[in-house]
Amino acid sequence: MSVDESAASQSEADRIDRLPAHIGIIMDGNGRWATSRGLPRLIGHREGYKTLRSVLLHANDLGIQYLTVYAFSAENWRRPEDEVDGLMQLITQAAIDELRVMHLNNVRVRVAGRLDELPHSLRNALIKGVETTAQNTGITFTLAINYGGRAEIVDAVRRIMREGTNPDEVTEETISRCLYNPDIPEPDLLIRTAGELRLSNFLLWQGAYAELYVVQKPWPEFTPEDLEAACQEYARRVRKFGAVAPRSASP
């Protein structure tokens, strides 16, 4: 991005008066995007990768602090073998190829999910990305991979039980502390593309009070401008967290 473009992004961020600190994205519709064009589904995932790249860099430029994307769910293993293999290869290659760009852009990479069930090459590439960028101070980009919200809660409960915690002392904080990335704040805004109105096991615990934003277009067509539109909409929402809206808040 040029200096001019970066300045333009900054002025756009200034116009959004209340940026979400943490955005989660369910990147849905790659398959439909491809099949509607008579293309193999994997081409849709490749296009989705390009979209992710531009959206991540734009989020970083806007000053979003955390971005978490659903790259592969714990249930996605049920897809045809060639699609699963293709996705694993795509994500492995991307993790290798993009590390330099991530680092140059001060992006801090994290992962969420059961990494021990992933192919070794992918796991190693992800761990290298996390370690190399650990001290970066720009956006924290979390790749949810082999991730399931229920599995994450199960893993947390297992850890709590292994630690021998007294059941009467288990609180919400105990569970939050045992999630995959306890230092990352809960998402403020969850975006889903391709029109479906469900969470699909994404950030179940952390997303309890997230604002939901669904767009009809499939993920390969999602643009940095769409990200800004989601942020603008978020800025208009009144968050109540179970209480009542403050008097000054607009409806």
Catalytic site residues?
Answer: 28, 76
Which range touches ligand FPP (CB under 6 A), out of 89-97, 108-116, 146-154, 167-175? 89-97
If you write DSSP's letter for every residue of 207-222 in order, what string do you get?
GGGPEEEE-SS-GGG-
Choose, by CB under 6 A, the member of 28, 61, 211, 226 that binds ligand FPP. Answer: 28
Task: Please identify which residue in 12, 13, 75, 76 interacts with ligand FPP, judged by CB under 6 A.
Answer: 76
Interface with ligand FPP, residue 180, by CB under 6 A:
no
Number of chain residues interacting with ligand FPP (CB under 6 A): 18
Nearer Cβ to ligand FPP, position 66 or 219? 219
Residue ranges in 93-122 that form contacts with ligand FPP under rule CB under 6 A: 94
Site for ligand FPP in 205-244 (CB under 6 A): 219
The answer to whether residue 16 forms part of the interface with ligand FPP (CB under 6 A) is no
Task: Kindly tell me which residue out of 16, 52, 62, 107 binds ligand FPP, with binding defined by CB under 6 A.
Answer: 52
Q: Is 173 exposed, middle or buried (0-12, 13-18, 19+ CB in 10 A)?
A: exposed
Give the residue with the Cβ less far from ligand FPP, 62 or 71: 71
Q: For residues 141 and 102, is the Cβ–Cβ distance under 8 A?
A: yes
Residues whose CB is less than 8 angstroms from the CB of residue 43 and which lie 6 or more positions away in sequence, other chains included? 34
Helices (H) then strands (E): counts for the chain: 9, 6
Q: Whole-number minimum distance, CB 234 to ligand FPP, in Å?
A: 22
Q: Is 130 exposed, middle or buried (0-12, 13-18, 19+ CB in 10 A)?
A: middle
Which among 22, 104, 5 has a CA at the least distance from the CA of 58? 5
Closest CA to 152 of 119, 112, 118, 188: 112
Using CB under 6 A, list all residues that contact ligand FPP: 27-32, 45, 48-49, 52, 71, 76, 90-91, 94, 143, 194, 219
